Every structure is written in C-alpha cells, then in structure tokens.
Chains A and B, each alone.
Chain A
C-alpha cells in the first residue's frame, strides 16, 4: 500500500510563498484560486512579538469531510491516499467546501478564460502563441489512476469545485508536487508514509509533530514539524485577499 502525504517543517519556512506561485503555474489555476496557501502569522505584543509562517495545502485527510458529503462521488479517496476531485462529475453544489474545516476548496465562480490574469488573446500575442493560456500545462487534462478519471485539475470549468491535487499528474510521473519541488528552504517534504524508510516517515518518527485541527477527526495526511499549531491568539498578516 501507498499513503502519500506531506511533512511540513515550520522551522525552515520563510513564508516566501514560492509554493503558492509554483502551484498556480503548474496547475494553471485561475485568478483568486489558491490551492496552496501560506499563512503569515504574528503573535504577541511589541516587543514580545513572534512572526512565523505556515503553508497550507489540502490536507488530503484519510477521513475527509468533503468526500463524505459529496452527493455524486466527484470527490473521492484514492488507495494511495490522495483526495481527488473529478471535475467531469462535480455538479458544483459546494457542499465539500462548507464541510471542509481547512477552507481549501476553490470554486470556479467565473469562466476561467475570462479569469487568467491577462488578455492572452491579444492579437499580437495570438500570432505568437496561437491563443489561449500560453503556459497551459498539457498534463492537466489527462486521465489518472486505474479508474481513468480526470482529476488533475485541468478543467477549471465554470461552476465546478477544485482544490490541491498533490499534483497527481506529477506524482504518477514519479515527481514530487510543484510546491515541494520549488521550496527554497525545503520546508515541504512529500512521500509515502507506508514506506517506513521514506524521508517523510523518518521525519515524522524523529520529530515532535502535529496535524491541523486534529480534534476534527479528519485524520489529515499532512503533518507539521518544528512548530506549534496556530491558536485563537494568532493573527494573520499580509493575508492574500483572493478576488475574482
């Protein structure tokens, strides 16, 4: 068995948000949709202030609230631990979004072609690129898994939900997710928890660790080391105000 997951080392995180950007480029997510989000936190009062950072991918919970509530089975668990979203099946009821305690789901409120930052159909650009998003990643529209379902978030269909896929298209290719790959200080470690010799298993074994909102019983596959979970006293600074 495989059980993919992440170990995120808060000690090393500089909050640079490279992971967020790499995710956006790799998955061509539209404006306002952040599958990966890095919190920038502040605690305490001057001069006893603390500033720290926390990347927040989808937790790919083993006991995922979103999967339970999905009325049509568009959101499902794979044997390898990934929580997948079939963007061909989703009916856009957004039940997964209200059910998820981590706020990782992104709905396509708008036609993605009208929501990709710049006018990619500018005539002179058209002559160069033939139109459409120039850096469109071809892997995203493929089918993945034995079930052959389109879960790599290539759709960005209007009226469909989407979220972090752990870059399933890269993982099935033997690569790690874009966020883990790009991280300047190697904060994000991706691997198989069922493999006792994997980097992530070792990190987990050798470090005190926690999972977000453990009390929700969602059994996240994303573990944190080198820090403490945010409390009600933790203030977010420089928050990204996602807009469509």
Chain B
C-alpha cells in the first residue's frame, strides 16, 4: 500500500486538532516546506520521534527503509524546530549505527585507573552485580550511594523515581552550566530560568555573552532561538552584543562591546547607575512589584511591623507618600516612597535609595576601565535601552492593556564566572529598573510564571553546622548550592576540611562523564580512585567509565521510548515523545527498562513509595484510572500509553503516528505576568534588596567561615577584583572556553562533525600572537595557573589568528580530547577542562564552576 508523505503530515495535523505550526505562526517562521514528499516507496516508512542529541529535544521524522534508519528530517509540526534540524541532529544517524557503541554489558577485568579491559557478560549478571552493591550500601547507609546523570533527555520522571525510591544522593551537571544564573533568578523573581526576551515584540536586545550562532540561550539548546532571532531582526530588532569574541553574535550584532571576560557585574552596575541618573526607570513597577521601597535599618535588615499572631516576624514597612507614615508594604491603596529615608529608628532608607547610593561610584568611565570598553559605548547602550524601553507605554494584547517595554537581555552561560550569581542579579536589575520584567517585548526567564520551590527557600537561607553531605548543601561554605560534582570530588579528597564525615562507596553514572566533561579533571580522577564500585549506563565507553567503571550497561540511543517532552517554543504549547524508529541495536536497552529491572532486583520497584508509585506520582497517574498497578512491572510503552490516555489521547499510538501533540498557542494570560489575575502569579515582591543574602552572610561569619565563602553574600551585587587577576603577571592572557555548533550539547563523537572540526585550536588576536612571535598555525603551549595555590597546568594546541577576539583573551572550544573510547577522538587535541581549576576562587559563592583562568601562551619548541 502506498501512503503519501503529504497525507502523513495532514493526518498529524488534523488529529492534532487542526493545528499546524503554520497556523500558529510563532515569530512568523514559515514551517511547511514548499515541496511535499511524493510517494512513499515500498519498504519505506516515516516514524515521528524526538532528537536524542541536544538539550531541546527537536521533533524528527525518521525515514526507515527496509528496517534501516536512512535519515532524519525535522518534524514540520514541531514548534521547536519546524521542520529544520541542527547539524548534529542530522548527523546523529552515524552515531546510532556506530560500531564503537557499547554492545553488551561489560565487566572490568583489570585494575581501575587505567584504560579498561572488558569481559562481555549477560544482562542478568550485570544487573545483579549492580543491584547487589546498591542493596548492600543502602542497607548500611543510603548516603553511600551516589547517582549522577549528564542531562535528562526528556521529563526526568523515571530517574527521579529511581533516586527517590533508592534514596540516592543525586548529582547534577548544572553547576557547570548556568545554575548560578538560575539561582540568581530564583532568588530575585522566583523564576527557574535565566534571561531571554519576548522575541515577538522585543525591539532592542542586549545579547549578553549569547553565542547566537553556536550555542543555546536560555531553555533552548540552540535552533529555536536563532530562528526567532532572524525573524525579529527582519522585523527590525536591534542587537547589541556584549562579548569578548564576535564569533558568536557574528553579523547579527549591530553593536559590539568587546568586554573583558568576568567583568560583567561592573558593566551591569554602571548601566543601572546611568539609568537611575537619567531617571529612565519604571517607578511604578519598582514600587508595586519589588522590595525597593522597603525601609532598611542600619543593621541592613527590613524595618518590620510588630508580628501579628501566627507570624513569627512582622511585615516589612514602607514610607507612605501621602501620610509620611510607616505602613506595611502591602497596605491597600497606598503609594510608597521609592527613593527616600526616614528619621525613625536611626534613619532608615528605602532599598532603592541604598541601591542608588551603592552605585554612586559606578560611572561609565569606572566600568569602562574594568571592562576594557569605551565609556561612550556604555552610554550608547544606556541611551538605546532608555529610548527603546518606552517606559510608561502600554500595548493591547488579546484585549488586555499590558505594559510595553520592548527591551531585554539574552544571557545564559554568563554565570560561569566567579561573580556569576551576583552578575546575573545585576543584569536582571537592568531589566527591573526599566520595568521590562514580564512586560510585552520585555524580559523573560521561563515560559510560565509558576513559583519555583527555591523562591520561598531563599527567603530564609539555611546555614547549618556540619557535618555536611558530600555536596555541602546548606553548609557554611556554600549555603546556596548548585551541587557541583567537581567540588564533590574535592570534598571526597579532603572530607575533614569540609566537615564531611563519610565517603560514598557506590556511584551509578547515567550517561555522564565527569572526567571528560567537567573541570577539574585532576580532582575528579583522585576522587574516583576512592570509590569502591562504579557502574555506568551509557551507549559509549566514556573516559570515566573506561578508567573507573566496574560494570557498564549499554543504553539505547534514540531507539527507545522516552518522554514526555515539552515541545514549546515559548509561544506554542506542545508535547512530544521519543519513539523507537527501530529496535534497540546490539544488546542495548532503553534506560526505563534498565531502571525497572534494577529496581526490581534492588527491591524498590513495587508497592507504596516504590519506583512505580513514584512514577505514578511524577506523571500524575496516581489516583487516576490510568495509574500503574504497583505489583506489575510495566513496559515503557505501557507507561506512556497510560500517560497519553490520561492526557486525552487514544493512546501511545497517537505519538507513534503523529509525534507531536499540539496544544495551541500559549495564552497571553499564561505568558504575560501582567495578564494574570494576580500579576506575576503572586510571586512578589521581587527581591531587589537581598536581605536574606545578608542574613546568610552573618550566619556564615558567626560559624567562622572564611571570607572567600561569604564575601559575595551581599544584599546588592557588589563588584570586587577577581581571584584570577591575582595571578602572576607573566600569565598575561585570560582563557575563556567556547562552544562550536558542531559539538554543542552533543553527547557522542559523531565522525561527520569531527571531520569538520578535526582538532582543538587556541584562538587568539594576531596582536597578542605576534607579540609572542607566534604565527598562525604554530603549535603552542598553553599554561594555566591557580591564582591562590600557584599550581600550573599545561596543554599543547595550535594557534589560530582571529580578529574577532579582544586582545588579552584567548579562546579554546570544548568537546575536544579523548573523552570517550572512540577512534575519531584520537588526536583531536586537548580539552580546555584540563586547564581549569575548581574550588575556592574558581567557583561562585553558589558553588558553580567558573570557566576563566589566567594563562601564558608560548610557541612550542620542536613542535611538529
């Protein structure tokens, strides 16, 4: 029988409620291709599924001919990619059939710490071995079992369920990503996200360290943002790029501020200062929705009313403009003074006044000197911000009049710097002063305004006395904590220094490769030598597994059921699934299968509080007709079938034929916080003044933590000299790592991609290079130094002249080096991770990794 591809698409469109992305034009992006597939040939079928490589789970249509995957094309109806794909998405077909995959469960036959020699074993033996070790430690002390995953490729319900049912300690990758940014936003406005614009309406965008052409912005891995950006540019949006390197923003930048890495906080403060000076600020927003009118006593704490019964502390007080009296901030129909002070209780000032005063020194010239850019450029940005913000203006959206502030910042990995947490806060302040947070065309950070759990947690940051757990949560060292697994390594290597009284014994690594992916490699290696048993679930043999795994379980790649995934592009809401286009290759299995079996053998699968029970809860199946029975082991397909039915679909068949469930445009009342019945979903007031940060600082001091830990816990972001700057002067260059689209987010070596970028290079400005007598293409030695300990690290690479990098800065892209056992990674050169350090001075106050270090570059003598 012959089905035409056209029908296939129509089918998907209609059954998804006559919605095609075409009709939901998000950013006006044309979606359906001008040509439609003609006939489906014999033995050919098209399976809708979800990309497995990146972070944003684009929609795919897999072309299968006689049981073989032949190609992937973008799913035309998927809001995130609209029929398009990034290079890795297309090329992953090579890695699916990669003969270097782990094909069967493996058991180590040699000692750890060196490349492994392996014995192929049965799934039974492998699972039992792992289960026994896990059971053993769980019985003695659950803290001894650590689980870590690189990145969940879908809703992480099934691994969460594993962690919860076993009580494992969970480590993330986030501290190496943008978590400091998340913490800053969670703390300040209660949103779990960093900074992105309302691309449909933004007129002026600060592309702040956003690698437009290579790397993802907030929430999306890559593809969706550039799609929306080019549309916005064609609509007339102006882009100012703040970036030491123009390669990222490339020709999409209208202005380029080649800022010195790590100095963004200073720039943000100066911008705030100038905005306040020229009074280009949204008084109404600041009064109504932030704590800037709150009165702060000389102890740095809010003036509070006497607590009413039931409350343990009273409401913060503000100064009523009309009466001049101190009243609780939420008094009805009262307008508080924004910029003022009062004589009561030793002269309290409003938070805003304090902020203003704290900025007094932050002139354009001051920031210009620190950031290595012209004061005039900063003033230009401020003028453009002020001009485009149109403070006070409104616009009608879906019949509602909403504030219109078409200026915003796009920033994501910006937080990978020593002052990351406070820098992101300061950058957000720019948007807050302009009143563009949540306004039309303004500043956004997540797709819906739902309170994230940390918002209330951060109201009172707990700082406990030791002993601490291995990632020091709630410790006097890192009270706000992003769970940095390299720091964990450091802890494991010196537990008593960090007041930790145990060392974990069993690690389960789920497609994570700390030795390959994270700095600091040395610390991690030392730590892994202390771990008694390491098991890895991975389709490839990662460096970590190769050196330290006792058992390796082969995971399937795309050929498995996984999901559900949000398919939203922030304007259109949709859900998608990963559907296996072919059977799992070799003996590999989907992770859900693996966890089901593992839990069964550990004995935590069935019954109340068991794995299945938690899955029910996470997928909201619990107490519905579709709940999984707690005494039967389901197949992944059954789980998702129930999920589909719960969500009003005929079953998993829907996703097996259509791929994407389009739910229609995100309603403005969900998208715009001003359009909600309670603005900002009641997550208020936004924390301009970080009282609880100050409280945390005091507690840390009391507990005798060193200054290096508490110095950045300040109520307002405060600039200080960076640790790296105290490195010896002969280390005259700043190393900053970058991403290339060929590798960004890719979790496997794809030969086709490596062919395009076969080796590591050190990108440097010809001015710097020539001063060191280094020619384009010369082999060079890059040596980094630890500013505090003086430890140095070295790699060899090849110099590449780049006029798009500011002098004084060199760049090395990630994803090189032999991070996995694979013929194609041989000789690709070093990873910048082997130059970075972790720990004090090289993490933020929230334990997030910084990717900045001082280096010296010399021409390699007798280099090839």
Contact = CB atoms under 8 A, between A and B. Distances in A.
Direct contact of A and B (CB under 8 A): yes
Interface of A: 11-12, 14-18, 20-22, 24-26, 31-32, 42, 44-47, 49-53, 117-120, 122, 124-125, 128-129, 134-139, 170-171, 173-176, 178, 180-186, 190-191, 199, 235, 237-238, 240-243
Interface stretch (B519-527, B606-614, B749-757): B749-757
B81 A184 contact: yes
A51 B585 contact: no
A228 to B, nearest CB: 11
Given A118-B100, A237-B802, A181 B73 contact: yes
Given A120-B97, A173-B38, A21 B586 contact: no
Contact of A185 (B65, B214, B230): B230
A244 B670 CA distance: 54
A118 B99 contact: yes
B246 A51 contact: yes
Give 10 nearest A-B pairs by CB, closest first: A122-B99, A117-B751, A134-B97, A173-B38, A51-B250, A21-B87, A184-B84, A14-B213, A52-B251, A21-B90
Interface in B207-254: 212-214, 222-223, 226-227, 230, 233-234, 246-247, 250-252
B802 A137 contact: no
Interface of B: 29-30, 33-39, 41, 65, 68-74, 81, 83-91, 93-94, 97-100, 103, 212-214, 222-223, 226-227, 230, 233-234, 246-247, 250-252, 256, 258, 585-586, 740-742, 751-753, 755-758, 765, 767, 800, 802-807, 823-824
Contacts of B69: 134-135
Contact of B213 (A15, A50, A124): A15
Contacts of B72: 25
B807 A184 contact: no
Contact of B258 (A46, A139, A185, A240): A46
Contact of B37 (A11, A42, A51, A174): A174
A186 B30 CA distance: 8
18 contacts: A11-B233, A15-B250, A18-B90, A21-B91, A24-B752, A31-B751, A46-B804, A46-B805, A117-B94, A120-B99, A135-B97, A173-B38, A175-B35, A176-B33, A237-B800, A237-B802, A237-B804, A240-B756
Given A12-B230, A134-B68, A184-B85, A175 B37 contact: yes
Contacts of A53: 213, 250-251
A118 B250 contact: no
Nearest to B373: A47
A199 B100 CA distance: 44
Given A11-B230, A118-B100, A135-B69, A46 B757 contact: no
A174 B84 contact: no
A238 B757 contact: yes
Contact of B741 (A16, A120, A190, A191): A16
A96 B495 CA distance: 69
A42 B776 CA distance: 15
B33 A182 contact: no
A131 to B, nearest CB: 11
B90 A182 contact: yes
B585 A184 contact: no
A110 to B, nearest CB: 14
Contacts of B29: 186
Contacts of A170: 35
A31 B256 CA distance: 38
A171 B34 CA distance: 11
B103 A124 contact: yes
Contacts of B803: 42, 44-46, 49, 235
Given A12-B230, A42-B803, A42-B804, A17 B751 contact: no
Nearest to B83: A181
Nearest to A51: B250
Given A16-B741, A51-B804, A135-B69, A173 B90 contact: no
Given A117-B755, A184-B81, A25 B90 contact: yes
Given A15-B250, A182-B74, A47 B256 contact: yes
A42 B802 contact: yes
Nearest to B84: A184
Contact of A21 (B41, B212, B752): B752
Given A42-B802, A45-B803, A176-B33, A25 B91 contact: yes
B68 A137 contact: no
Given A12-B230, A16-B86, A136-B70, A129 B806 contact: no
Contact of A22 (B85, B256, B740): B85
A13 B30 CA distance: 16
